[in-house]
Structure formats: structure tokens, C-alpha cells
């Protein structure tokens, strides 16, 4: 069933003017209308709604309680209408209505959140949707169209081939094998003058981040065949689980360093170190409007990301 409102935006403007100026005559002057036109507008809307919006006397007009409700809701409608006009104008100028950015859980959303104040200053009217993904999940989000831009790891199977995708390398992360200082493996390592062997590590549970891919083949790093695992959804959860002594595993050095400093984690030497992992900003250029191009450019030099490479 279709619905057509009986109240126009102009009616709301008139009611607001009367409420602000305190009289029909002053409102008419402010709106460049004759008083009779303002009075007719109010009489019409009161008749349609069956309510009284103003208490009137010769000098002042004051909103009734229901009139206050009408105006409060009406002003929200006016703001929404103005926002819609602005969004349409910005879309016409090349700003997309919505931009979706997916970031690998190693970094979380902080690199993008730090850019939003500068982006807001552009008055783009583009709505942003930010998500965290893990491993293959970032690439799946990009190739499936669920994300317009991703910050993702450059694994052997991760990069989409063909299709007009642009991939801008960012840098590489180093990983350290870490455990709580009270964990049995850490206590055992203190007694050794050599690297921990795979067999020694295999006897202890590894904390791993679940691959967020739903369709693409999932990946796991740093887990030995037959090793018990505790699976969590984000890298922050993995770090916290290892600090709590719930397992061991490789952690990005830039994330682990504060824990090494405060003593909540210790770095262990293992015979099977994890290689550095390279990351990139990736997108399909044909999907991006002005907002996407701005973020793609800014993410290449985002301070929150650059700090990761500098600490490795």
C-alpha cells in the first residue's frame, strides 16, 4: 500500500517560523509571506490532523504540547530532507553513496578510524561501512563485492587475478613467538640454551585467529600438525588469550612489543620462525568514486599503518 504524507516540508518550515518568532505576523515577515497565507497553512494542517498546534492571542502564539511534538519530529524530517539533497548533489559530483572498507584484523579498524576526521571535512555525504576480516576473508570481501577497498595480506592464494584489481604494496610485518611468562612452555624454555623444537611446541595449545572467508579456502598460520588449538575471531583476542596463558603462538611484533615491555608476554626462540608477511591496499578501480580514491590514497601513507612497518 502506498502512503502519501499530508504534511509538506513547507508546512513544517511555517510552523517552525511561528514557534521561533512568537507570532503569525512576525513569521510571515520572516518568510516573505502575507499573514493570511501563514494562518491558512496552520489552519489546514490542524484540520487535516485534527489537533491544535498553537495557543493564540493577539500578541503571541505558543506551541501546544502536541505542537511541540509535531515540530520536533518535523525538524528531524527537514534535516533528513536536507541531508538527502546534499547526498544527491555529492553523488552527482562523483562521491559514492556508500563506501565499504575491510581491514585485516592484525591492524583492526584504527588506521581507518584515524582518517575519518579529515574525510569528514570533505563533506562528501558518503556513508562508511568498516569491517575486520582475517586471512582470506579480506580478499573474499573484495572479490565478492562486499568491500570496495581492503587492507590485506599478500599470501600466495590471496591476490585476485585479473578483473581490474589494483594492489598497492604497503610493507612487511615481522612475527615473534610469544607466551605468558607463567606458561609451561616459557618455563621450559628458560632451562634451555637452544631454540624450542617443533615437537616441544606441538605439545602445547596454539591460539589462532579464524579465517573469516566463507567461500574461499581458509588458511591457518603457525599451527603444527596435530597441535591443539584455541580459535578466536580477532588478533586482539589472540594476544589477550596468550597473555592470559591460554596458549602460545606467533604475534605481530608491533602488537607484541608493549606486552614484552610490560612483561605480560615473553619472546621465545623456536626452530621454525614465521616469515615476514607483506600487506597491501587493494581495490577495483572501476568501483571507486571520489571517496574511495581518497581513502585508497590516504591508506598508502596512513600513520597508523606506517608505524607498524617502522617497528618491525
Q: Same domain for 281 and 163? A: yes
Q: Which domain holds residue 40?
A: 9-92
Q: Are 282 and 149 in contact (CB under 8 A)?
A: yes
For residues 53-58, give the mean pLDDT.
85
Averaged confidence pLDDT in the chain:
88
Residue 4, domain member (yes or no): no
For residues 129-137, give the mean pLDDT.
92
- How many CB atoms are located within 10 Å of the residue 52 CB? 14
Q: Same domain for 35 and 74? A: yes
Is residue 115 very low, low, confident or very high in pLDDT (cuts 50, 70, 90)? very high
- Report whether pLDDT(220) > 70: no
Q: So what's the pLDDT on residue 162? A: 62
Q: Same domain for 227 and 237? A: yes
Q: Same domain for 83 and 105? A: no
Is residue 94 very low, low, confident or very high in pLDDT (cuts 50, 70, 90)? low
For residues 40-46, give the mean pLDDT.
91
Q: Same domain for 15 and 157? A: no
For residues 25-35, give the mean pLDDT.
91
Percent of the chain with pLDDT over 90: 59
Q: Same domain for 72 and 40? A: yes
Residue found under cell 570533505: 122
Q: So what's the pLDDT on residue 312? A: 45
Burial code of 187-224, b = ≥16 C-beta within 10 A, e = fewer?
eebeeeeebbeeebbeebbbbbbbbbbeebeebebbbe
Q: Same domain for 54 and 180? A: no
Q: 98-104 and 127-133 as β-strands: parallel, antiparallel, unpaired?
A: parallel
Q: So what's the pLDDT on residue 125? A: 80
Which tens digits make up the pLDDT trace of 223-279? Answer: 888 899 999 999 999 999 999 999 999 999 999 999 999 999 999 999 999 999 999
Q: Same domain for 249 and 298? A: no
Q: Same domain for 264 and 180? A: yes
End-to-end CA distance of the chain: 61
Cell of 4: 502519501
The runs of H, that is alpha helices, within the chain are 9-21, 24-30, 35-49, 65-92, 110-113, 116-120, 136-143, 184-189, 198-202, 235-243, 253-262, 290-299, 303-310
For residues 124-137, give the mean pLDDT.
90
Is residue 157 very low, low, confident or very high in pLDDT (cuts 50, 70, 90)? low
- For the packed helices 253-262 and 235-243, what is the interaxial angle rounded to 10 degrees? 30
Q: So what's the pLDDT on residue 1? A: 45
Which of 69, 92, 115 lies at the terminal end of a domain, its last residue? 92
- Report whether pLDDT(185) > 70: yes
- Sequence-separated (6 or more) residues with CB below 8 Å from residue 90: 123, 124, 125, 126
Task: Determine whether 90 is exposed, middle or buried from the number of CB atoms within 10 Å of its CB (0-12, 13-18, 19+).
Answer: buried
Q: So what's the pLDDT on residue 106? A: 93
Number of domains present in the structure of the chain: 3
For residues 281-307, give the mean pLDDT.
88
Q: So what's the pLDDT on residue 82? A: 79
Amino acid at each position: 500500500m502506498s502512503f502519501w504524507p499530508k504534511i509538506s516540508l513547507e508546512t513544517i518550515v511555517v510552523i517552525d517560523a511561528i514557534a521561533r518568532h512568537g507570532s503569525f505576523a512576525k513569521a510571515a515577515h520572516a518568510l516573505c509571506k502575507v499573514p493570511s497565507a501563514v494562518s491558512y497553512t496552520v489552519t489546514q494542517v490542524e484540520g487535516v490532523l485534527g489537533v491544535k498546534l498553537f495557543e493564540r492571542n493577539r500578541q503571541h502564539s505558543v506551541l501546544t504540547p502536541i505542537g511541540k511534538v509535531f515540530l520536533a519530529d518535523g525538524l528531524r524530517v527537514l534535516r533528513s530532507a536536507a541531508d538527502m539533497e546534499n547526498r544527491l548533489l555529492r553523488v552527482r559530483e562523483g562521491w559514492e553513496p556508500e563506501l565499504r572498507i575491510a581491514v585485516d584484523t592484525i591492524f583492526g579498524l584504527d588506521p581507518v578510524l584515524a582518517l575519518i576526521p579529515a574525510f569528514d571535512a570533505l563533506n562528501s555525504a558518503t556513508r562508511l561501512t568498516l569491517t575486520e576480516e582475517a586471512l582470506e576473508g579480506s580478499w573474499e570481501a573484495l572479490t565478492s563485492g562486499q568491500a570496495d577497498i581492503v587492507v590485506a595480506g599478500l599470501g600466495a592464494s590471496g591476490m585476485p587475478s585479473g578483473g581490474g584489481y589494483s594492489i598497492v604494496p604497503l610493507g612487511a610485518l615481522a612475527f615473534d613467538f610469544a607466551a605468558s611468562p607463567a606458561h609451561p612452555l616459557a618455563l621450559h624454555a628458560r632451562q634451555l640454551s637452544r631454540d624450542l623444537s617443533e615437537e616441544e611446541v606441538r605439545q602445547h595449545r596454539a591460539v589462532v585467529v579464524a579465517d573469516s572467508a566463507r567461500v574461499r579456502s581458509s588458511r591457518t598460520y603457525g599451527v603444527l600438525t596435530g597441535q591443539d588449538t584455541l580459535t578466536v575471531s580477532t588478533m586482539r583476542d589472540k594476544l589477550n588469550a596468550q597473555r592470559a596463558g591460554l596458549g602460545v603462538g606467533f604475534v605481530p611484533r608491533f602488537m607484541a612489543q608493549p606486552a614484552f615491555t610490560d612483561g605480560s608476554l615473553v619472546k621465545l626462540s623456536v626452530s621454525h620462525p614465521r616469515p615476514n608477511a607483506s600487506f597491501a591496499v587493494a581495490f577495483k578501480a572501476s568501483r571507486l568514486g571520489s571517496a574511495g580514491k581518497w581513502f585508497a590514497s590516504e591508506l598508502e601513507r596512513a600513520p597508523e599503518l606506517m608505524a607498524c612497518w617502522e617497528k618491525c
